[in-house]
A and B are shown apart, each in its own frame.
Chain A
Amino acid sequence: MANRKNRKLLWSWIATAAAAVLFGALAADMGIWDTVLRFLFPNTDQVVYPRASLTTLLGEHLGLVIVSSLIAITIGVPLGTAVTRPWGRAFLDVVDDLTSLGQTIPPVAVLALAVPLLGFGFEPTVVALFLYSILPIVRNTISGLDGVSRDLVEAARGMGMTATQCLFKVEFPLAIRVIMAGIRISVVINVGTATAGAVIGAGGLGAPIIAGLVRQNPSFVLEGAIAGGLLAIIADQILARTEASLTVGMDSQQSAR
């Protein structure tokens, strides 16, 4: 059974990788974009954003998303774990409120507030994206770990697992789906939100969108929006495969023996 599951997973990884490569090739071939956008907007002089190639924009965008998401994961998962431990329970409400607050402030406002402290560009955008994306990660880490039956934890501890062994051998494996779902949501939202970085000069796929809005050129907007949408879908698929790989790896340990 695990074998068939593994093969299915391998194929879905191949399909996802192919989609990613195809998307990369599409981003690199400005000719196609020019043709399609010119067909859609025949009366516009300039249909493709001229100041940077789509690959450059995509690179900038990925940089923003990957850096901010990695920070959010490395802080969010341990934070969510800490407040579900007996010694950290007291901080559960505080952490919950603070992370919720991070998401209630609009990213654009965070950008504006971060500029005086961190200047323009990459850093303030990463800060804003981090604040915005940590909530789903912390929330899902908490609910994933809280969702693990108390009986199982009692059984694990009663059999002689230390608190750490119980966390890594029982609680994380059982909570991983929920935690990964939080990370997925967070990253996908992040891909969209990162376009706001263009406002303070962080570049990325937001750049053609902002330029298009300012210059009333819908073609630029569409260029950034399509690329951003496709990127979000591919990121979501890659994370879905990662999630499946993590849980299958866990399942097949025994049958591989």
Chain B
Amino acid sequence: MIELKNVTKKYGDFTAINDISFTVENGEVCVLIGPSGCGKSTTIKLINRMLEPTKGEILVDGREVRGERPDVLRRKIGYVIQNIGLFPHMTVAENIAVVPKLLGWERAKIGERTNVLLDLIGLDPQLYASKYPRELSGGEAQRIGVARALAADPPLLLMDEPFGAVDPLNRQVLQAEFLKIQRKLHKTVIFVTHDLDEAIRLADQIVLLDKGRVLQDDSPENLLSRPATKFVRNFVGTDRALKRLSRFSVGDHVRPPVSISLESDDFKRHLDALKTEGARFAWVTANDGTLSGWIDLHDLGGDEDPNSVITEIDPADTAIKTSFSMKEALSRMLGQGIKAAPVVDGANRLIGEISLSDIERLTEE
């Protein structure tokens, strides 16, 4: 648990942090957000003593951070900065090994840990361990920045706009990966960003700062549905309902699909069953379950060849994945002009569907 108690940081006459207090529970992701200059980066630098507070207490698991030498303290706290800061003269493996080496781990243990971490972030150790940072893409470098911060398995992770310099597309991928890793590792994370969508997507707790003060310290849902002040209301914007959708994942709301396989032997029986259920549309799959199109059951009255009435679709354009947020699902549906979207797995096999009314129901909750 991390507790900040009445922390103030002054630079001469300028007060960067003004008497802030908040608590982060173990295993939770706390996002610090606010306009630039609000003191969010300053706050996390106070926690690992890159900066010292003018007043107040900072406790990690009940112990004042100033009770320990800064370098000893920092080896127990993972740190990821915006510009990644991978050391260009060291290989990927050496970069990841920095903190374990500082802690005096044995070489075999370091090597093993490096492989585990590269696997965790989805990069092949064989391929990446001996690469230099200049040989990496931005997204890869950022992943390795995270792996390096996790190297000595610190319980606490400080991330200062870690995905700030990555393009929007890659940023979403990194966010999804971060969530996946976080669900596995349950670190206590303090994450700084100025991107509200990112905050809403990742946070268990959002601390909104402005001019060095805490304006609201709340769950993302509450921040969106019950903004404390006019400033917060303006900050979260008028599209709050839409933003809330990004809190929900497709995986949690996917329904079993209405589908039919054309190549199946008992196609006719299936078709009749669907019709008695009162279904009008069905997804069409190949025998191996991969999505190929959809069909209007009304078009299949007589004996015509079913293949002639299929509307073929390209899963890459239309289908969504369980890792998508409901907001992404909605935008996919609006973009394609469809009322329901098929949900597929990595191999384009149909696993379910999400309809527009599902999304409507979520926004009403």
Q: Are B79 and A155 in contact (CB under 8 A)?
A: yes
Contact with A along B68-88 (1 / 0, CB 8 A): 000111111001010111111
Verify if A102 is at the interface (C-beta below 8 Å from B): no
| Cβ distance A163 to chain B, nearest Cβ, rounded Å | 9
Interface contact B71-A160, CB-CB below 8 Å = yes
Check A255–B130 contact: CB distance below 8 A: yes
Is there an interface contact between A154 and B87, defined as CB atoms closer than 8 Å?
no
Q: Smallest distance from the beta carbon of A35 to chain B beta carbons, Å?
A: 51
Q: Kindly identify which residue among B81, B83, B84, B99 contacts A160, using a CB–CB cutoff of 8 Å.
A: B99
Taken together as a complex, chains A and B put the C-alpha atoms of A174 and B99 apart, in Å, by 19
Mark each residue of chain A from 147 to 160: 1 if its CB lies under 8 Å from any CB of chain B, else 0. Answer: 00101101111111
Given A159-B75, A159-B102, A151–B81 Cβ distance below 8 Å? yes
Q: Quick check: is B93 within 8 A (CB to CB) of the other chain?
A: yes
Using Cβ atoms and an 8 Å threshold, which residues of chain B touch A154?
50, 81, 85
B75 close to A158 (CB less than 8 A): no
Distance in angstroms between the alpha carbons of A159 and B71 in the assembled complex: 8
Of all chain A residues, which has the CB nearest B85? A155
Contacting pair B99 A173 (CB below 8 A): no
Is B74 within 8 A of A158, CB to CB? yes
Size band of the A side of the interface?
20 to 34
Give residues 111-157 of A contacting B (CB, 8 Å): 149, 151-152, 154-157
The reply to whether A174 and B89 contact each other, CB–CB distance below 8 Å, is yes
**Which residues on the B side are within 8 Å of A251 (C-beta)?**
89, 132
Q: Which of B50, B75, B85 has the most CB of A within 10 A?
A: B85
Residue of B nearest to A166 (CB): B71
Instruction: Name the CB-closest residue of A to B98.
Output: A159
Closest Cβ–Cβ distance, residue B52 to chain A (whole Å): 14
**Residues of A contacting B86 with CB < 8 Å?**
155
Name the A residues within 8 Å of B129 (CB-CB).
Answer: 254
Say yes or no: is A32 at the interface (Cβ < 8 Å to chain B).
Answer: no
Interface presence of A250 (CB below 8 A): yes
Give, as a whole number of angstroms, the nearest-CB distance from A208 to chain B: 46
Within 8 A of B (CB), among A139-193: 149, 151-152, 154-162, 165, 169-170, 173-174
Which A residue's beta carbon lies closest to that of B94? A254
* Number of chain B residues close to chain A: CB under 8 A: 29
* SS of A interface (majority): helix
In the complex, what residues of B have CB within 8 A of residue A157's CB?
50, 71, 74
Among B71, B148, B149, max chain A CB count under 10 A is at B71
Where chain B touches its partner, the secondary structure class is: loop
Q: Determine if B87 and A170 form an interchain contact, defined as CB atoms under 8 angstroms apart.
A: yes
- Which residues from chain B contact A160 at a C-beta distance below 8 Å? 71-76, 99, 102
Select A254's contact among B71, B83, B88, B93, beta carbons within 8 Å: B93
Complex interface: chain B residues within 8 A of A216 (CB): none
Do B48 and A158 touch (CB < 8 A)? yes
Cross-chain contact B87 with A152 (CB below 8 angstroms) = yes
Complex CA distance for A174 and B81, rounded to whole angstroms = 19
Known: A159-B75, A159-B98, A161-B102. A174 touches B88 (CB 8 A): yes
Q: In the assembled complex, how far is the CB of residue A198 from the closest CB belonging to chain B, in whole angstroms?
A: 43
Q: How far is the CB of B102 from chain A (nearest CB, A)?
A: 6
CA distance A160 to B148 in the complex (A): 12
Asked if A253 is an interface residue, CB under 8 A from chain B, the answer is yes
The answer to the question of B172 belonging to the interface, with a C-beta cut-off of 8 Å to chain A, is no
Which residues of the partner chain A approach B99 to less than 8 Å between Cβ atoms? 159-160
A254–B93 CA distance with the chains assembled, in angstroms: 8
Residue on B nearest A157 in the bound complex, by CB: B50
- Minimal beta-carbon separation of A175 from chain B (angstroms): 10
B71, A161: Cβ atoms closer than 8 Å: yes
Q: Which of B71, B83, B90, B132 contacts A162 (CB 8 A)?
A: B71
B175 is an interface residue with CB less than 8 A from chain A: no
**Contact residues of B with A, CB < 8 Å?**
48, 50, 71-76, 79, 81, 83-91, 93-94, 98-99, 102, 129-130, 132, 148-149
A-B contact pairs, 28 of them (CB 8 A): A149-B83, A151-B83, A151-B85, A152-B85, A152-B87, A154-B85, A155-B84, A155-B85, A156-B85, A156-B98, A157-B50, A157-B71, A157-B74, A158-B50, A158-B85, A159-B74, A159-B79, A159-B102, A159-B148, A159-B149, A160-B71, A160-B99, A160-B102, A165-B71, A174-B87, A251-B89, A253-B94, A254-B90
Q: Could you tell me which A residues sit within 8 Å of B by CB distance?
A: 149, 151-152, 154-162, 165, 169-170, 173-174, 250-251, 253-255
3 smallest beta-carbon distances between A and B, as pairs: A155-B85, A160-B75, A160-B74
